Structure 1
Amino acid sequence: MSFYTSLSGLKGAQTDMSVISNNIANANSIGFKRSKAQFGDIFASSPTQSTKTVAGQGQRLIGITQQFTQGSYETSEKTLDLAIVGEGLFIVKGEPPRNQVTYTRNGAFSPLPDGTVIDSTGQKLQLLPVDAAGNVTDRTLAGAYDFVLPDGAPSDPTASLINVSVDLDGLVTATFANGEDQVLGKVAMATFPAMEGLRPIGDAHWQSTGESGPPTIDAATNGPMGTIRSGTLERSNVDITEELVMLIAAQRNFQANAKAIEGASTLTQTVINMRT
C-alpha cells in the first residue's frame, strides 16, 4: 500500500511542478494570471472500522485554480494599449461565422488597415453604445459592436483622423483634422460571479462556463469593472521569487516520495529474500 500512497505523492508533486513551471514560463506574458494546484488527502475506511487503526492513502488533485489578482503595469507609447485597474475583462469577438465571444486582460490592441481594432489574437474589441451624454444605452452582448476607427469626420469625410482617446470610463473619442470630435462608444467590459470558473483558452483569454456564471456587461467605473488606463499594459501577476520557492518545495516533496518508494522497495526485497 505504501507504494501507491507514495505514488500519489509523486503524481501530486509532478502536477505542482508543472503548474509552477507554467507560471514561470508566462512571467512576461501580458495579462497572464497565475494558477495554483490544490490537493486533498485520501482516506477510506469501512463504517464499522475504527479510524484509529487506518492510515491515509495518499493525496489527490482537487483542482487547478486561477488567481485573478492584479498584475503590475507597464507604460506604453500606444493609445490603444489598455490596462484595467479592477476586476473587469475586455470583451472581444472572433471572426464569422462563429463570432465567438471571449474575455481577456490582454489590452494590447491595434488597428487593421480598415480601422477595425483587434487584440494580439486577431479578435475584435467590442464597444457599447452611448447617448449624447455618454451614458451606456445597451448593456448586452447583442448590443455591443466592433470598435472601428472612422476614416473621416462625420461632417467632412476629407478631414482625416488625427487622434483617438480612451478615458478612464472607457469612453472612446475620435478627433479629426477639422477640429471635430466624434464619440464612438464605450469599451465593453464584463465581470463574473465566480471568476475562477472561467475556462482559459490561451493568450490570456477566457470563456464563460456554468461554473463562472453569466457575465455582467457594462462600461468601466461601474461596480467592480474598474477603470481603464490608456497607454498602459498589465503584466502577469507572477512573482518569480515566490514561484521559485514553491518550485523548490515541490521538488523536495517529489524527492521525499521517491525515497519513500525506494524504502518500501528495499523492505519488500528484504522480506522476499528472508530464509527460514
Structure 2
Amino acid sequence: MSFYISLSGLKGAQADLTTISNNVANVGSTAFKKSTAEFGDIFVGQSDGQGQGVRTLGSQQQFTQGTLETTDKTLDLAITGDGFFTVRTAAGDVAYTRNGSFGMDQNRNVVDSTGANVQVLPTPPNGDGTPTGTSAADLKNLTVPTLKMDHTVSPEVPVSPQVELSSISVNTKGVVAATYADGTTENLGVVAMATFPNQEGLRQLGDAHWTPSGKSGQATYGAGDQGQFGQVRSGMLERSNVDITEELVALIAAQRNFQANAKAIDAANQLTTTITNLRN
C-alpha cells in the first residue's frame, strides 16, 4: 500500500512542478496571473486510521495586482483594481482581459493583441462621461474616427467644413475622448469594465483572457474609478504578477517533494523484493 501512497505523492509533486513551471515561463507575459496547485488527502476510513495518499484538487488563480510599466502609448491601458477590460472576439463571443495592449486595425476599430474588439459603454459626446447604459446589450465596439461627426444629423456624417482628428485620450474613468483640429473634444465611449462575484472562478482562455464559469458568476459592467472596477491608467501596461524569486523557492521545495516520494517508492520496492526473496 505504501507504494501507491508514494505514487500519488509523486503525481502530486509533478502537478506542483507543472504549475510552477508555467508561472516561471510566463513571467514576461503581459497581465499574466499566476496559479498555485491545491491538494487534498485521501482517506477511506480504514480501521487503522491511516491515509491513502494525496490527490490534486486543481489550480487556484491568484489575481493579485501586477506592477505597472509605463509605455507612453495612449491606447496602452492598465487597471489598478479588480476590474477587467471587455472584448468581443471575431466569433462574437465576449471575453475579459487584463492585457490592455490595444491598437487599431485597418478599420480604425480598437483591438487587443488577439484581434478582439475592445468594448465600450455609450455616453453622450459632450457629457461628463457617465455611461447611459451598463448592460451587456449596451456594449459596442470602440472605433476612432478620422473626422469630426455632425451628431445633429447623423453620427456617420462629418461636419461641414470637415475637421480632422488631432488626438485621443483616456482618463481614469475609462472615458475615451477625441480632440479635433478646431480644439473641440468629444467622448467616443467609456471603456467597459467588468467585475465578477468570484473572479478566481473564471475559466482561462490563454493570452491573459478569461470567460465566466458557473463558479465565477456573471459580469457586472461599469466605468472605471468606481468601487471594484478600479482605475484605468493610460500609457501603462500591467506586468505579470509572478515573483520569480518566490517561484524558484517553490520550485526547489516541489523538487525535494518529488525526490522524497521517489525515494519512498524505491524503499517500498526494496522491501517487497526482500520479502519475496525470504519466501523463496
TM-score (norm 2): 0.93
Distance of 2:87 and 2:136 partners within structure 1: 10
Counterpart in 2 of 1:142? 137
1:129 aligns with 2:122: yes
- Identify the match of residue 202 of structure 1 among 203, 206, 214: 206
Counterpart in 2 of 1:119? 112
Distance of 1:116 and 1:157 partners within structure 2: 25
1:245 aligns with 2:249: yes
Name the SS for the 1:273 alignment partner: helix
Q: Which shows bigger deviation, 170-179 or 128-137?
A: 128-137
1:73 aligns with 2:77: no
Distance of 1:211 and 1:111 partners within structure 2: 34
Matching residue's letter, 1:202:
G
Matching residue's letter, 2:269:
S
Distance of 2:235 and 2:15 partners within structure 1: 38
Name the SS for the 2:75 alignment partner: coil
TM-fit CA distance, 1:156: 4.3
Counterpart in 1 of 2:27? 27
Cα displacement string for residues 246-267 of structure 1 (whole angstroms, at most 9, x for unaligned residues) = 0000000000000000000000
Counterpart in 1 of 2:10? 10
Write the mapping of 1:50-129 to structure 2, written as runs, cut at 5 A.
53-95=48-90, 98-129=91-122
Cα displacement string for residues 108-131 of structure 1 (whole angstroms, at most 9, x for unaligned residues) = 000112210000000000010113
Cα displacement string for residues 81-118 of structure 1 (whole angstroms, at most 9, x for unaligned residues) = 000000000000012xx310000000000011221000
Change (3 A) 1:172 1:44: same
Report the number of matched residues: 269
Cα displacement string for residues 4-43 of structure 1 (whole angstroms, at most 9, x for unaligned residues) = 1000000000000000000000001001000000111111
Change (3 A) 1:106 1:157: farther
Name the SS for the 1:142 alignment partner: helix
Matching residue's letter, 1:114:
N
* Alignment check: 8 A CA contact 1:153 1:180 kept: no
Distance of 2:176 and 2:213 partners within structure 1: 30
TM-fit CA distance, 1:181: 1.4
Name the SS for the 1:61 alignment partner: strand
Distance of 1:227 and 1:72 partners within structure 2: 14
Name the SS for the 2:270 alignment partner: helix
- Identify the match of residue 272 of structure 1 among 271, 276, 280: 276
Q: Percent identity?
A: 54
- Aligned CA RMSD, in angstroms, stands at 1.2
Matching residue's letter, 2:77:
L
TM-score (norm 1): 0.95
Distance of 1:81 and 1:218 partners within structure 2: 20
TM-fit CA distance, 1:157: 6.7
Where in structure 1 are there 5+ consecutive unaligned residues? none
Counterpart in 2 of 1:218? 222
